[in-house]
Amino acid sequence: MLIMKKRNVENISKSELLSDLISSLGKGGFLKTPKVKQIFLAVDRSKYVLPQHEDLAFDDRPLPIGYHVTISAPHMHATALEYLKDHLKPGSKCLDVGSGSGIVCSYFMRMLEFSGMVVGIEHIEELTMRSYESIVADLHSVLEKKTFEVTALINEADPVIDDFKKKSLTPGQLLLVTGDGRKGFPQLGPFNCIHVGAAIGLEHTILLDQLANNGRMMAPVTGEFGHQEIIIFDKDAKGKVSQQKVLDVRYVPLTSKQKQLRGY
């Protein structure tokens, strides 16, 4: 059993804790660009963790969110935003596979400046609904201004999805869907940017098929002997894919709902 050691944060404000975290990520080389730092300052990570772990929300560590998955450590989210930032432009369409807590979708919507579309797909219905509540709580002031819309669906085949194909990307659309992330979400593709939050196998190409030309996908990939690496996949204007390895990691696998609920 994982035991979380809590520090005494009783007399420290969230803003101070977040400022300390951002300073640490900057010194570690994870936060580099002003816009990504600004986005990190805007997101309240405590809204995306379980209540019993709120005291740890601004530590640079992954935290369990139930169902045998975690919210990744902040340095991994910073790494993702830095590598994907040039593809997270206003008006872009983005996909977060294994959206879990919903925090990456929130980062992405802010990076798009609330103009564009972010789709998060997660096969645990309870996580989909909890992530919806977290995003609403974190972004309530923006939602009140009708700057973007957030929708949660418990069925990836919901006919309402057809309506999203016709919607304007201003205001932005954030759609959280319960479904099998291994299949991506072709209904609303292709996507300028795809982020995968769980480890895929080398043989998985279905997600790359949903990446738009001149788009980028970032995913942890499990290779020979179970070794995992974050790999950046770039698709050029003609659809040719190149890739580069970024760093070694250890992620939970992108697998079936049944295997995940059994603990793999």
Q: How many residues does the chain have?
A: 264
Q: Which of 72, 101, 106, 115 is catalytic?
A: 72
Contact between 103 and 49 (Cβ < 8 Å) = no
C-beta atoms surrounding 199 within 10 Å: 23
- Residue whose C-alpha is closest to residue 64's, from 248, 256, 262, 252: 252
CA 87 – CA 118 distance, rounded (Å): 12
Report the C-alpha gap between 37 and 42 in whole angstroms.
9
- Joined tokens for residue 105: 């979708």
Tell me whether residue 19 is one of the annotated catalytic residues: no
Contacts of 218 (CB under 8 A, 6+ apart): 80, 83, 84, 194, 195, 196, 230, 231, 232, 233, 246
- Residues 6 or more apart whose CB falls under 8 angstroms from that of 2 comprise 64
Whether the link from the prior residue into 220 is cis, omega within 30° of 0, is: no
Neighbours of 180 (CB within 10 A): 16
Q: Which residues are catalytic?
A: 72
